Amino acid sequence: MLRVLSWNINGIRSPLQGMIYEEPSNCAAMAVERILDKLDADIVCLQETKVTRDVLTEPLAIIEGYNSYFSFSRNRSGYSGVATFCKDSATPMAAEEGLSGLLATHNGDVGCYGNMDEFTQEELRALDSEGRALLTQHKIRTWEGKEKTLTLINVYCPRADAGKPERLSFKMRFYRLLQIRAEALLAAGSHVIILGDLNTAHRPIDHWDAVNLERFEEDPGRKWMDGLLSNLGCQAGSHVRPFIDSYRCFQPNQEGAFTCWSAVSGARHLNYGSRLDYVLGDRTLVIDTFQDSFRLPEVMGSDHCPVGAVLSVSSVPAKQCPPLCTRFLPEFAGTQLKIRRFLVCLKQDPVCKQSALRLSKQTQVQMHQNKARVRSTRPRPSQAGSSRGQKNLTSYFQPSSNRPQASPILELPSVGALMTPKTLEEEVMAKVVEGQASASEAKDEKEVRTSFWKSVLGGPLPMPLCGGHREPCVMRTVKKPGPNLGRHFYMCARPQGPPTDPSSRCNFFLWSRPS
């Protein structure tokens, strides 16, 4: 059996909190290794790795028992990116980055590009510059003993942004390039699996709110998927499309089979999401070899969940990994020069060593002489009583000598001497009264001080209660560009869910007053 799996991991360097293992781990490389072990797939395709080659570390790229392949974004750091990890028992015979062939090295590449005359060179380079596609080609053996070729296309398709119309055009051109390459591989005799995050919910059953979305069926991405995918029940005489959605092949009417949820709104708690991740296989491969297609919503750590399929074939590993394998990168293969290579101490000639030592001693003597000369030229601090010396701080608080002297004060008898001596009891009572007075003054002073700081540091106001559940709200900040950018508002703290579900978030909204 061959088990393939796809997962939009939303950052391969993150700790992946909530992953299926219990013990915490601060090491990203160890986390990835445990993920691969827990998922237990022969081929694991990851999307949105958000890593570029300059920050990729050896422990993260080279996992024992696997050979890995990465595609990086050329334009932005911490953006996009895909990676494929293959067990050593499923080592590919070829691997290639990108769909257009412009990134191919012509050594161990997959090939079969099809007719791309409708694209300009600049357009092809732009489509492959974001690190969204990675191909690995494997040799498989069926139960009849026949060996065939299987090409996996690991893709992270662009997302259409309503505020950026050019991204919709970019997405559709990427779809078109993907289809041309996949059909060219099919025409060359290879079986093909397209798996990854396609960023489109194909049918209304694949989206939580398709009924309320305007012109759901008219979306260009859904129309493209209609032209790519065929139903299993298509007759031979009808127009048979090349690929099949493997999950809908096994679960045609399963509702709520979502793979992506909004992490901000907590929509996963109520399964309020959409199905964006797919395992698409060519029609012959799905009918003959697919035993199951599944999703793993219990696996946490990302806003997506893994999806995969099981094929009734065995992998025939290649004898050697293709050149794209990360273990062959210069920084990991030991062939890249390190900066330490240029800082190695060289053996010196004894004569040169003695002359250098003599020069060093002369330099030290010269430095001591310069220091002594500087000390002799410095002005010495003035002696006590000198008018030009540095004044002491207390001198500013002494009476000036040029002020007229006050007349001598006559010595008067003290008040205590004129008063009648108190008895011991009276002295004790006087001390008690004096202590109570001082305590009362200290208490009054403390109360005044406390009331002052309370007025200055009043603390946050209590959260308002939402209208639907009468529960404390949460404060959010507007991040969308516009006149309200940066403003705070209150909304229901419950997770997002269907409007008919009373346990989901209500539509309470209240602007926060400026402080």
CATH code where residue 198 lies: 3.60.10.10
CA atoms of 268 and 391, how far apart (whole Å): 73
Catalytic residue among 191, 202, 207, 304: 304
User: Which residue blocks in 188-237 are alpha helix, DSSP H?
Assistant: 220-228
**How much is the average pLDDT of 418-440?**
70
CA atoms of 98 and 96, how far apart (whole Å): 7
Q: Can you read off the two tokens belonging to residue 442?
A: 């200290």
Residue 438 falls inside a structural domain: no
Residue 76 falls inside a structural domain: yes
Residue 366 falls inside a structural domain: no
Lowest mean pLDDT among 110-119, 236-245, 303-312, 349-358: 349-358
- Which of 155, 118, 150 minimizes the C-alpha distance to 137? 150
Q: What pLDDT, on the 0 to 100 scale, is given for residue 70? A: 96
Residue 494 falls inside a structural domain: yes
Determine how many CB atoms are found less than 10 A away from the CB of residue 467. 13
More confident residue, 371 or 183: 183
Q: What pLDDT, on the 0 to 100 scale, is given for residue 384? A: 46
Residue 395 falls inside a structural domain: no
**How much is the average pLDDT of 199-221?**
89
Final residue before a domain boundary, out of 308, 323, 338 = 338
Q: DSSP 3-state assignment of 357?
A: helix
CA atoms of 84 and 70, how far apart (whole Å): 7
CA atoms of 286 and 263, how far apart (whole Å): 33
- Which of 128, 221, 141 minimizes the C-alpha distance to 181? 128
Q: Can you read off the two tokens belonging to residue 355?
A: 């002359």
- Mean pLDDT, the chain, integer: 84
Torsion angle in degrees (nearest 10) through CA of 329, 330, 332, 337: -170
Final residue before a domain boundary, out of 338, 355, 388 = 338
304 is catalytic: yes
CA atoms of 94 and 66, how far apart (whole Å): 15
User: Which residue blocks in 210-329 are alpha helix, DSSP H?
Assistant: 220-228, 246-250, 283-289
Lowest mean pLDDT among 4-13, 20-29, 480-489, 501-510: 20-29
Q: Give the residue numbers of the binding site.
A: 8, 48, 197, 199, 303-304
CA atoms of 132 and 127, how far apart (whole Å): 8
Q: Is the pLDDT of residue 172 over 50?
A: yes
CA atoms of 110 and 113, how far apart (whole Å): 9
Residue ranges with strand state E in 263-345: 273-274, 277-282, 290-295, 307-311, 314-316
Range of the domain at 484: 473-511
- Which of 279, 104, 269, 139 minimizes the C-alpha distance to 202? 279
pLDDT confidence bin for 373, thresholds 50/70/90:
low
Residue 248 falls inside a structural domain: yes
Q: What is the amino acid identity at position 495?
A: P
Q: Is the pLDDT of residue 397 over 90?
A: no
pLDDT confidence bin for 177, thresholds 50/70/90:
very high
Buried b / exposed e along 219-258 (16+ C-beta atoms within 10 A): bebbebbeebbbeeeeeeeeeeebbbbbbbbbeeeeeebb
Q: Is the pLDDT of residue 66 over 70?
A: yes
User: Cβ(227)–Cβ(249) under 8 Å?
Assistant: no
CA atoms of 271 and 305, how far apart (whole Å): 12
Quote the Cα angle for 381-382-388, to 5°. 115
Find the distance separating the first CA and the last CA of the chain, reported in whole Å. 63
CA atoms of 259 and 8, how far apart (whole Å): 10
Catalytic residue among 197, 245, 277, 282: 197
Q: Can you read off the two tokens belonging to residue 130?
A: 């974001």
Q: Can you read off the two tokens belonging to residue 255?
A: 């509702």
**How many percent of the chain have pLDDT more than 90?**
51
pLDDT confidence bin for 235, thresholds 50/70/90:
very low
- Which of 259, 255, 138 minimizes the C-alpha distance to 196? 259
Catalytic residue among 66, 69, 113, 156: 156
pTM of structure: 0.71
Domain total in the chain: 2
Dihedrals phi, psi of 490, to nearest 5 degrees? -110, 145
Residue 485 falls inside a structural domain: yes
109 is catalytic: no
pLDDT confidence bin for 26, thresholds 50/70/90:
very low
Sheet containing strand 290-295, strands side by side:
66-71, 82-87, 43-47, 2-8, 307-311, 290-295
Tens digit of pLDDT for each residue in 31-52?
A: 888 889 999 999 999 999 999 9
Residues 6+ away with beta carbon under 8 Å from 415: none
More confident residue, 369 or 284: 284
Final residue before a domain boundary, out of 338, 354, 378 = 338
User: Cβ(277)–Cβ(261) under 8 Å?
Assistant: no
User: Which residue blocks in 198-289 are alpha helix, DSSP H?
Assistant: 220-228, 246-250, 283-289
Residue 287 falls inside a structural domain: yes
Q: What pLDDT, on the 0 to 100 scale, is given for residue 326? A: 94
156 is catalytic: yes
Q: Rank 402-406, 476-480, 495-499 by mean pLDDT and report only the highest.
A: 476-480
